[in-house]
Amino acid sequence: MQKYDYLIVGTGLFGATFAHEAAKRGKRVKVIDKRDHVAGNIYTKEIDGIQVHQYGAHIFHTSNKKIWNYVNQFADFNRYTNTPVANYNGEMYNLPFNMNTFNKMWGVRTPKEALAKINEQRQEMAGKKPQNLEEQAISLIGRDIYEKLIKGYTEKQWGRKATELPAFIIRRLPVRLTYDNNYFNDDYQGIPIGGYTQIVEKMLDSDLIDVETGADFFDKKDEYLKRYPKIVFTGMIDQFFDYRLGELEYRSLHFETEELNEDNYQGNAVINYTDAKTPFTRIIEHKHFEFGKGDKNKTIITREYPADWHRGDEPYYPVNNSKNNNLYKQYVELAQKDAKNVIFGGRLGQYRYYNMDQVLAAALKIVDKEFDN
């Protein structure tokens, strides 16, 4: 067997960044992934000249200039700005909540009128402490926006009634008193021209890195642990320890992708379905991430359905409530005792809701700790 310094489990952004930086420092690295492709959840695949986001819409956004420069080494980004639209039973509202939304909802035209309307609506909860997500949302934004734009969407996302969800899920609701539909407030935003997969492919392109896809760590866990001096693990930390302390909770998703013989299905990359009846939360029309590039007679859409997670399903989102966070802490303590040569990283290894820029920053921080101090 080749002599490797590291085994990296997972070719997502965390694993690929670590591999790239380790190879830059002369380390030999083996990278495995249980999927049949690299890039984890940012994987995009070209179909009909359209970059299809296989695991949900991914928009890169950050205010961290260092991270923006770092990721731009691996791709050129376009000027895509995320401007999702909500469809509530056929009524279309701009997101995030801004003057366009308020004008459509109430006919108000100035920030002063909008604020007065929001404050009037919030009166319903005046003097009361919100006991659940529904009350929290009404206390922040009032009933009209809650009923049309928050309730159904949130209930579908969590698979529970808003009155049964804790208030802390919605800490704040950004309200923008300008006619600005840009979803993010970050300084930098865009989509890599030609898709995300190239970023990971370029990161892993080194003579010192060997990549094996279709390889599940748990099929040969003992052998891997014996053979590799150090492991970077970006899978589920509870699974690594065979769920010894109990299961962490995750939310899963189910994607339904369809190819249509038309140029432009919905006129926007992201449309959220905020009513309770429609079973999916959003439809992505992929070609709009790159301003309509691709076959003019075809478009590809993906419906996104939230799902409960059971063992064996893809764990897309950690559920960071206090019960799970406490259990995660116990796993970290166990790791410090029983898995000293393993670095746990990324969304699943660190059980944290990371965006791409955050996962890059987290990986680079661990790289610094590992090599540069």
Ligand X SMILES: Cc1cc2nc3c(=O)[nH]c(=O)nc-3n(C[C@H](O)[C@H](O)[C@H](O)COP(=O)(O)OP(=O)(O)OC[C@H]3O[C@@H](n4cnc5c(N)ncnc54)[C@H](O)[C@@H]3O)c2cc1C
Return residues touching ligand X (CB under 6 A).
9-15, 32-35, 40-42, 55-60, 216-218, 234-235, 253, 316, 346-347, 354-357, 359
The CB-of-132 to ligand X minimum distance in angstroms stands at: 25
Placement of tokens 């369809």 in the chain: 258
Select 40 or 152, whichever has its Cβ closest to ligand X.
40
First and final CA of the chain: distance in angstroms? 30
- State how far the alpha carbon of 229 is from the alpha carbons of 4, 131, 200, in Å: 8, 50, 24
The CB-of-134 to ligand X minimum distance in angstroms stands at: 25
Helix (H, G, I), strand (E, B) or coil at 297: coil
Select 136 or 234, whichever has its Cβ closest to ligand X.
234
Select 130 or 255, whichever has its Cβ closest to ligand X.
255
The CB-of-292 to ligand X minimum distance in angstroms stands at: 20
Tell me the HSE value of 109 on the side-chain side, using a 13 A CA sphere: 0
Select 42 or 138, whichever has its Cβ closest to ligand X.
42
Question: Nearest Cα to 13, choosing from 62, 79, 48?
Answer: 62
The CB-of-253 to ligand X minimum distance in angstroms stands at: 6
Q: What is the CA radius of gyration of the chain?
A: 22
The CB-of-141 to ligand X minimum distance in angstroms stands at: 23
Select 22 or 42, whichever has its Cβ closest to ligand X.
42
| DSSP code per residue over 253-273 | EEEEEEEESSS-SSSSSEEEE
Placement of tokens 């970023």 in the chain: 199
Helix (H, G, I), strand (E, B) or coil at 364: helix
